[in-house]
Amino acid sequence: MLRRGLVVLCVVAACGRGAGEPEPLGLVTSPPPPKPIEVGKARRDAGELARALTQRWRTAAAALGDHRLTIDSEVVVKDGATELERLGEHTVITSSAAGDYHAVADNSADYGREVIWLAGQLYLRPRYARWHHRPLEADDEPAAIRDQLAAVLGDYFELCARGVEVSDKGPRQVAGRAGHVVELKLTPSPRPATKATVTQRAWRDRVTVTAVAGEVVLDDAAGFALTARLTAEVTFERDGRPLTMAISVTHGVEVVATPTLAPPPADQVVTTAMRSTEVDDRNFLLKGLAPPERKAVPDDERLGTKP
């Protein structure tokens, strides 16, 4: 997904790979199973909270059953007082207990996408274009696409986690589930960066977190975010110049009645045999401002269907 990539196209050219270093293919792969989240620890340790917030949404979906996830985010990049770019994004994912879902992602750059996974059939489209219906690249591709769409909060929190101090503020019920409120604020003692394992993320080692505020209601059983709000500011360098990135995210879950999902109208669907290259494009454009995607994403303008 090109989330955040659209924001920083004009400011990250020197933050990523060298011109002679080839981009890897964004193939659909299954990552190894992560170790279980230590939920109690995540309420008092920013590193473990980052692990909790970046876990795949399929864990939350299995626990929640019929539900709707709504995410709103905005990023503003500045050079001093000069605003270089701004992007707002709104994502809604409505999922059934059976695993089917309908997801819509829109942003202020008029670039979005829509996904339907229903009865074993996958439909994808750039917003307002025709739908593409194609075979799966992997058995878990639909779940992987939803994981990616739901990853906004985790992606941003991971960027600023070493500058965050967390504290447990007690229990709270959300969407019928027991959780605990975790307060987020700027730590007076930032932790050292974990050395980047890929070149395009190396710039993160030099990020300075200058402001953090917000809270997360963390599910007691599985450690995913039931609700959250995060505002943060980080600085980094490009060509020796300090740039500032202001981030805001809200994330919320609600329980819904079993959703009525339907496939797209047949006359709006084209059969597509090829895999989208949007993962590859996104990783190239983003150049490290968020984790490289490893999951398949909807077919886009590379198929000649962008409006």
What would the two tokens of residue 158 be?
């991971």
**Percent over 90 (pLDDT), the chain:** 66
Q: What would the pLDDT profile of 65-104 be if each residue is shown by its tens digit?
A: 999 999 999 999 999 999 999 999 999 999 999 999 999 9
E strand or H helix that includes residue 71: strand 67-79
The pLDDT assigned to 205 comes to: 72
- What parts of the chain have a pLDDT lower than 70? 1-31, 194-204, 274-307
The pLDDT assigned to 238 comes to: 80
Place of tokens 């959250």: 228
Residue 19 CB contacts under 8 Å (≥ 6 apart), including other chains: none
The pLDDT assigned to 122 comes to: 97
Across the beta sheet with 101-107, what order do the strands follow? 164-174, 177-186, 208-219, 225-238, 241-255, 67-79, 82-95, 101-107, 113-118, 121-126, 131-133, 269-271
